[in-house]
Structure 1
Amino acid sequence: MNKKVKDALRLIAPEVLNIRRHLHQYPELSGEEVETSKLIQERLAAYHIPFETGFAKTGVLGIVEGGQPGGTIALRADFDALPIQEENNDAFTSVHPNIMHACGHDAHTAMLLGAGYILNQVKELLPGKILLVFQPAEEKSPIGGAKPMMDDGVFKTHIPDVIFGQHVWPDLPVGQIGIRAGEMMGNSDRFVITVTGSGGHASMPHQTVDAVVAASQIVTALQSIVSRKLNPLDAVVLTIGKLDGGYRYNVIADVVTLEGTLRTFRNETKQQAKAHLYAISESVAKAMGAEAKVVYYDGYPATVNSRKWANLVKKTAQAALGEEGTPDIQPSLGGEDFARYLEKYPGAFFWLGTQLKNKEWQKPLHDPGFSLNEDALSIGTELMTNIAIEALYMLKNEKWTAS
């Protein structure tokens, strides 16, 4: 099996690279991934992998049927881009203004197509079925693409026993992955606070209720949620990312809008922070003679890995990369739509090291200059392949043991 996988990887690796570069050059935003979906379907057809469509508009499900009965493993890749103007100068830099694969979804898709090709080459040896889940709109929080995929029946006929996903990670060097049991990514919520006062001339503030001053007080007071309202051992991040209001230098604003995000791991902590957010915003505004209206958007839930399947990922990675390939990591408070799947099915989400050889050139995810080390593509392709194989055999062995 291992030799067959290696041989197939050597054949498909150049195409994985080319697919990644093509998708990077022609990115599409969430919900608009028509050409990307077509490419996925064309490649699956060329690999002789049956597939289904009609999920979340552009989603695709590839199906690799093993030659022996067994369990069902799902592997997921997302394929939408971000509304960012790329600042790189590669030959395959995005040709679409203000659209860029700044989160590596082009690589995710290319690697899953490569894994699908390899698995299809060894399918007669596989005890079970592998689902290749190509998902749109991961970046479209709080709706996302995972839930619409499931609502549209992506797993209606083929129900996974376990699901796996990977994400490129610029903080880790090539040859390492990030995996842990339990929390891997955080609850990712956002909110809008509209502060309403009464405007007027800048020279006569006593005739007004200054919405800018009230909003500023709210911004400052909200920081006490993390520093004074919650257990300091609980991970919480509250950020006001946008403040919008006012007309000109000599007009006191009557309305100011604040937009921000709240990140947590534990749902209990999230609910406590959410309650304080409402209470502080409303009370501070009232004290200033203004009014604050909070609109809260529950986003992606925390991505929580099953211990059993996280351990399988770790052992599979160590077999290929050595023990140094799975360093101890801390979870991230970044949000991830894969969490929707893990609410319904056991599984694991891991990070694939893609750091550039020159670390000083490395930009973070969602940066206009983000780039990844393409040496990681073969590693990620092989890793997804082997995880699926190992998981199928684990499920088969468990069935033997139970019987």
Structure 2
Amino acid sequence: MASIRESLLHHIQDDVIQMRRHLHQNPELSNQEAETSRFIQEKLKTYGVTFQAGFAKYGVLGIIEGKHPGKTVALRADMDALPIQELNNHDFTSKHAGIMHACGHDAHTAMLLGAGYVLQQMRESLHGTVLLVFQPAEEDSPVGGSKVMLDDGVFHEYTPDIIYGQHVWPDLPVGQIGIRDKEMMGASDRFKIILTGKGGHASMPHQTNDVMVAAGHLITSLQTIVSRSLDPLEASVVTIGTIEGGEAPNIIPNQVTLQGSIRSYAPHIRKRLKERFFTITNQVAETFEAKADITYLDGYPATINTPKWARLARTSAARVQGETPEVNPSLAGEDFSRFLEKYPGAFIWLGTQIENADEQAPLHDAHFQLDERALPLGTSMFVQVALDTLNALAKGDS
């Protein structure tokens, strides 16, 4: 069976690269993935894979039922792009102004389609079912697409016993696959603070309650949450990303708006961060006789792998490309976390670093690129982990 699998993987690898390039040239934003969804459905038809569509509007579920009875494994890829103007100059740059696949979702979709082709051709030997989950709106935090797909009943007819997701990772060179037993990615919450006070002329600050000064103190004070209110061994971050206020250099404004992000792993740390955030913000505002209007958005939970299935995925990775390196978790958010809250499984990083590592742009950057030599490996990883998991479940592992 291994030789058949390798032959199928070899047959589809050029198509995977071409599918990725097509998707890269034709990116669509969250909740607008109509053409991407149509492309996926047409490919699944070509491969003979049964599918259902319309989950979270544009989500697609491919269904590969093996000849032999068994359990069910789901493989997930996200589909959406980002509102970024691409600044690369390769032959397949985005055709859509201000929209770019800067997070590798084009590669995720192409690799899962390739894996779907291979697994469909192997269905006579499969003991169980493989689900191909094509998810829209991963970038639409804090709502996302996974919860909407679940609410829309994506798994009502076919329920996974185990689920896996895979993400391109530019910090790892091609040929390396990163998998942790527990925390992979962080919880990501967002906030907006509007500080309102009394403005006035810059020469007469005593007639105002200067919200610019209040904002400065607030930015500094919020950093004490991580440095003084939490266990220093627990990872967390409070970041102010934007500050807006004022119209002229000689006028003290009456309003300043700050927006930012809070990241963590452990639920109790996340809860404590939020409590201290509200307390400090309100108290600093009161100190400067200002008013604080707070909008706090609870975003994606932390992506926490199930240790047993993370270990199995590492075994699969070793069969694909050798031993997996030790990796540190990331505080970046990931909508796959909501699938892992419902079902056991693991999230996997696929090394895609370009040959000149010094020129590697990070995810969500207008210059982001990946080494396409990783795409056959990612396709193979999807196939291998699905087969290994079905075999483990057939032996009674759960």
Same fold (TM over 0.5): yes
Alignment of 1:339-354 (within 5 A): 339-354=337-352
Cα offset for 1:157? 0.2
Distance in 2 (alpha carbons) for counterparts of 1:297 and 1:132: 30
**Structure 1 residues without counterparts, runs of 5 or longer:** none
**TM-score normalised per structure 1:** 0.98
Aligned to 1:88: 88
Aligned to 2:258: 258
Q: 1:356 aligns with which of 354, 362, 368?
A: 354
Aligned to 2:98: 98
When the two chains are superposed, the root-mean-square deviation of aligned CA atoms in Å is: 0.9
Asked if structure 1 preserves the Cα contact closer than 8 Å seen for 2:72 and 2:130, the reply is yes
- Asked if 1:161 is matched to 2:161, the reply is yes
Alignment of 1:152-231 (within 5 A): 152-231=152-231
Q: 1:391 aligns with which of 373, 389, 395?
A: 389
Aligned to 2:40: 40
Equivalent position SS for 1:5? helix
**TM-score normalised per structure 2:** 0.99
Give the letter aligned to residue 161 of structure 2. Answer: D
Aligned to 1:50: 50
Aligned to 2:270: 270
- Of 340-349 and 240-249, more deviation after overlay is shown by 240-249
Distance in 2 (alpha carbons) for counterparts of 1:250 and 1:312: 64
**1:166-203 per-position Cα deviation (integer Å, ceiling 9, x unaligned):** 00000000000110111111111111111111111222
- Asked if 1:124 is matched to 2:119, the reply is no
Cα offset for 1:320? 2.2
Alignment of 1:311-350 (within 5 A): 311-323=311-323, 326-350=324-348
Aligned to 1:370: 368
Asked if structure 1 preserves the Cα contact closer than 8 Å seen for 2:320 and 2:384, the reply is no
Give the letter aligned to residue 314 of structure 1. Answer: R
Aligned to 2:9: 9
Cα offset for 1:96? 0.8
Aligned to 1:68: 68
- Asked if 1:282 is matched to 2:282, the reply is yes
- Of 213-222 and 199-208, more deviation after overlay is shown by 199-208
**Structure 2 residues without counterparts, runs of 5 or longer:** none
Give the letter aligned to residue 26 of structure 1. Answer: N
Distance in 1 (alpha carbons) for counterparts of 2:120 and 2:89: 36
Aligned to 1:380: 378
Distance in 2 (alpha carbons) for counterparts of 1:98 and 1:303: 29
Distance in 1 (alpha carbons) for counterparts of 2:128 and 2:219: 54
Cα offset for 1:229? 1.1
Distance in 2 (alpha carbons) for counterparts of 1:153 and 1:18: 32
Cα offset for 1:260? 0.6
Cα offset for 1:248? 1.5
Query: Sequence identity, in percent?
Result: 57
Cα offset for 1:313? 0.5
Equivalent position SS for 2:237? strand
Poorly superposed stretches of 4+, deviation over 6 Å? none
Distance in 2 (alpha carbons) for counterparts of 1:91 and 1:228: 51
